[in-house]
Amino acid sequence: MLSPKITLPLGICLLMATPSFAADLVEAAPPPAPAAPTWTIGIEGSPEFYAINNGSNTARSLADTYFKLSVSHSFDNNFVGGVFIQPTFKTGGKTQYYGEASVGYKIKLNDVFTLTPSVAVGYTWHDTGIPKDGDANGQIPYYALYLAGDWKLTKQWTWNVFNLRYRNGFSTKWETPKVATGVTYNIDSTNAVYLNVGYSWKKIDTTSSPYNDLAADKINIALGYKHSF
pLDDT in the model for residue 36 = 86
What's the rounded Cα separation, in Å, for the pair 198 and 179?
Answer: 6
Q: What is the pLDDT of residues 160-183, one digit of tens each?
A: 999 999 999 998 999 999 999 999
Least confident of 21-30, 104-113, 184-193: 21-30
Q: Are 209 and 55 in contact (CB under 8 A)?
A: yes
Query: Is it the case that residue 15 has pLDDT exceeding 80?
Result: no
Q: pTM of this prediction?
A: 0.85
Query: DSSP secondary-structure letter at 132?
Result: B
Residues 6+ apart with CB under 8 A from 202: 174, 175, 176, 211, 214, 215, 217
The mean predicted confidence, pLDDT, of the chain is 90
pLDDT in the model for residue 27 = 56
Note the CATH architecture for domain 39-228. Answer: Beta Barrel (2.40)
Strands 62-74 and 107-108: unpaired
Least confident of 20-24, 28-32, 93-97, 160-164: 20-24
Band of the pLDDT at 33, cuts 50, 70, 90? low
Closest CA to 194 of 204, 182, 184: 184
